Amino acid sequence: MQTLETALKTIIQDADRLIFRGIEEKYLSDALGRRRGAAEALVFPLNTQEVSSVLRYAHENHVPVTPRGAGTNLVGSTVPVKGGIILDLSRMNRVLELDEDTMTITVEPGILLQEVQAYVERRGFFYPPDPGEKASSIGGNISTNAGGMRAVKYGVTRDYVRGLEAVLADGTVLQLGGKQAKDASGLSLKHLLIGSEGTLAVLTKCVLRLLPKPETAVSVLVPYPDLNTGIRSVLTILRANANPTAVEFMERKVVALGEDFSGVRYPRPGAGSYILLTFDGHQSEVEANAARVRELALENGALDYIVLTDPAQAADIWKVRGALVKAVEAVSEQEPVDIVVPISHTADFIRFINELETSSGMRMISFGHAGDGNVHLCVVRGSRDEDTWQRELHTNMDAAYAEAYRLGGVASGEHGIGLSKRRYFLRETAAENLAAMNAIKDALDPLHILNDQKSYIKGDTDHAEPF
């Protein structure tokens, strides 16, 4: 019987695309680097045939496989918890076709989001999904159904995936969807794979829907005396049909950390919170919508309405927003959370978090996407020792996730479940739903070689942490 090393060397001819010893730590973890797995091989395929052959061998020999892209995942989805093969798709990073007639682009999964956006914008097109990490891979975005700041107007990654080529655990290659806009032909297997965190198949080609590039865009910073006033104002703005592209909220305390980290200062430092908006489209449309929101914001408690006409100032303001997680990390280890609640309950959830922070003594910093109820929290470790940190973190997160579900929310808007949210997701999700998910897993990957015991998958680690 062939050894794993011998078999993979038969499939992958280039020695520099196979690593069996001394695998770098970054490949054994995720972007946070706090959970570490182990693997016998790290493989860099270049095409669908190589992916298929690796998976066929793994399936026949019951070898676990962990797919990964750019390594920006925040919930442990890329940690190889069961050993085996790490299948790194980062070198499958080409643009395969731009079809201007159907307004689609076909790419490989390892290409970065920022590369796709730059490529299409140079040609007059626009790819709207906009998660905070622009150096994430398109395959990773699809695997977590990434959203981001522009979701309030444009939707999430799922809304821009027209077609997929995917390889099942046994090496079978599927062609799902295509360039067409409509498809009522049988089950939508494409949509089943979107958001599945690499548990059902490995993506090898992605057909993405494009839009015409907006004529112009403008950002507006709106300071409020407190966060509750700002969130309530957002609901008024959304009902006004002013069509903002992004609606972000930030508490002053997290902005202060971002200012110190980036060296940029926000206007109106006495504000308790800020709402940061963007409008895009035709010039006349943008101006009319921004003016309409100005009137509504000032009527609903805003301290000011600052149109960021200077591109450099706008870039600085967004620089702070984009650096918030890194700013918190510079001060202390933190647990990133991306709970979603109905937008009508965003203020209720933030109020609960602030009360939990006061009662528990654990610092919790809130910001996120006010336009769709996606609340990002940085739960800060501070000076706690490891045992105290883990105990208090889980106690407080149990309370936070329970409240989110009570309000009609869910555990994740765009990061996925992976390992770190598994405890809360399994506890709060109906047993019938979990059974249906696991039946699908069993059907497509009967030996459970792909990213096993992550997210929804039943197993012997159905508790808080497998490490």
Cα–Cα distance for residue pair 255/278, rounded to 1 Å? 18
pLDDT, tens digit (0-9, with 9 covering 90-100), for 181-193: 999 999 999 999 9
Q: Is the pLDDT of residue 286 over 90?
A: yes
Domains of the chain (ranges plus CATH)? 4-88 (3.30.43.10), 95-212 (3.30.465.10), 216-324 (3.30.70.2190), 332-423 (3.30.70.2740)
What average pLDDT does the structure give for the chain? 94
Rounded to the nearest angstrom, the gap between the alpha carbon of residue 104 and the centroid of all alpha carbons in its chain is: 22
Q: Identify the pLDDT of residue 460.
A: 58
Whether residue 285 contacts residue 255, with contact meaning beta carbons closer than 8 Å, is answered with: no
Q: Identify the pLDDT of residue 328.
A: 85
pLDDT, tens digit (0-9, with 9 covering 90-100), for 112-149: 999 999 999 999 999 999 998 899 999 999 999 999 99
pLDDT band for position 93 (50/70/90)?
very high
Whether residue 218 contacts residue 290, with contact meaning beta carbons closer than 8 Å, is answered with: yes
Cα–Cα distance for residue pair 11/51, rounded to 1 Å? 9
Q: Which residues, 6+ apart, have CB-to-CB distance to 313 below 8 Å?
A: none
Interval 442-466 mean pLDDT = 81
Q: Identify the pLDDT of residue 340.
A: 95
Which H/E stretch holds residue 49? helix 48-60
What would you report as the CA-atom Rg of the chain, rounded to the nearest whole angstrom? 23
Report the amino acid identity of residue 24.
E
Listing DSSP states for 122-175 in one string gives: TTTEE---B-S-TTSBHHHHHHHT--BTTHHHH--GGGGEEEEEEE-TTS-EEE
Which H/E stretch holds residue 99? strand 95-99
pLDDT, tens digit (0-9, with 9 covering 90-100), for 66-79: 999 999 999 999 99
Whether residue 364 contacts residue 332, with contact meaning beta carbons closer than 8 Å, is answered with: no
Q: Identify the pLDDT of residue 464.
A: 41
Q: Is the pLDDT of residue 467 over 60?
A: no
DSSP 40: S
User: Nearest to residue 293, comparing CAs of 237, 241, 336?
Assistant: 237
Q: Identify the pLDDT of residue 466.
A: 38
**Burial of residue 214, with CB atoms counted within 10 A of its CB: 0-12 exposed, 13-18 middle, 19 or more buried:** middle
Q: Is the pLDDT of residue 209 over 50?
A: yes
Cα–Cα distance for residue pair 160/208, rounded to 1 Å? 5
CB atoms within 10 A of CB 146: 26
pLDDT band for position 465 (50/70/90)?
very low
Q: Which two tokens stand for residue 74?
A: 């925040």
Instruction: Give the percent of the chain with pLDDT over 90.
Output: 86
Q: Identify the pLDDT of residue 275.
A: 95
Q: Which two tokens stand for residue 317?
A: 């303001």
User: Nearest to residue 106, comparing CAs of 114, 98, 118?
Assistant: 98
Q: Which two tokens stand for residue 234?
A: 């957002």
Q: Which two tokens stand for residue 429?
A: 């999700």
Q: Which two tokens stand for residue 225?
A: 């005396």
Q: Identify the pLDDT of residue 228.
A: 85
Interval 196-202 mean pLDDT = 98
Instruction: State the residue for tokens 């200062």.
Output: 265
pLDDT, tens digit (0-9, with 9 covering 90-100), for 367-405: 989 889 999 999 999 999 999 999 999 999 999 999 999
Cα–Cα distance for residue pair 21/410, rounded to 1 Å? 40
Whether residue 411 contacts residue 421, with contact meaning beta carbons closer than 8 Å, is answered with: yes
**Burial of residue 178, with CB atoms counted within 10 A of its CB: 0-12 exposed, 13-18 middle, 19 or more buried:** middle
pLDDT band for position 323 (50/70/90)?
confident
